[in-house]
Amino acid sequence: MDINDVANQINPRRAQLALAQIMAALGAYENWSPAHLEWIADHATMAWTGTGLPSIADQDGDAVEFWKGVVDSTAMAAPVDPLARWAEMFNDPELAGEIAAALNWIQAYATAAALRAAGNPQAAETFLAAHRARATIDGETHQS
């Protein structure tokens, strides 16, 4: 198991909330103390809860070995680039680019639909116009 496997088991919303609480609290202190490390671990537990992964606190020997293995296997792992993963899966970098462009447009249309549903059709059209302009500048092909 590597760091990406661990990340895939974490509930994204729990992770967002845990990190937001850690950031807010640490940002409020001018000087950090050793007590803050325990506090960070307590809040990180919020993101860990429900993952099925070994404990991150009060570990037994097996848990410690598990986490050491994760650290050793991915000491400085970079986030996985979806385009690289798609290119690898399909053995076609051009197809990966087309998938990314299609998803980008699906997200744009979904955002516009949400704006329309919220009662703001003008904002939806403005958003799509801005997206089309950006896409053209970036060299992305699209159909109106």
One-letter amino acid at 6 equals: V
Q: Using the 3D structure, point to which of 24, 46, 73 is the last residue of a domain.
A: 73
Q: What is the pLDDT of residue 59?
A: 72
* 34 and 61 share one domain: yes
Number of domains in the chain: 2
| Distance separating alpha carbons of residues 72 and 109, to the nearest angstrom | 42
* Residue 44 near residue 23, CB atoms below 8 Å: no
User: How is residue 78 written in tokens?
Assistant: 């970079």
* 69 and 86 share one domain: no
Ordered DSSP codes for 5-26: HHHHTS-HHHHHHHHHHHHHHH
13 within some domain: yes
* 9 and 55 share one domain: yes
Say whether pLDDT at 20 is over 70: yes
pLDDT digits (tens, 9 = 90+) for 32-74: 777 777 778 787 888 888 888 888 876 788 888 888 887 766 5
Closest of 118, 112, 109 to residue 142, by C-alpha: 109
| Distance separating alpha carbons of residues 114 and 119, to the nearest angstrom | 9
Range(s) of the domain holding residue 28: 3-73
* 7 and 69 share one domain: yes
Q: What is the pLDDT of residue 144?
A: 47
* Residue 93 near residue 87, CB atoms below 8 Å: yes
Burial call 61-80: b when 16+ CB within 10 Å, e when fewer: eeeeebbeebeeebeeeeee
142 within some domain: no
38 within some domain: yes
How many percent of the chain have pLDDT more than 90? 0
User: How is residue 14 written in tokens?
Assistant: 């729990």
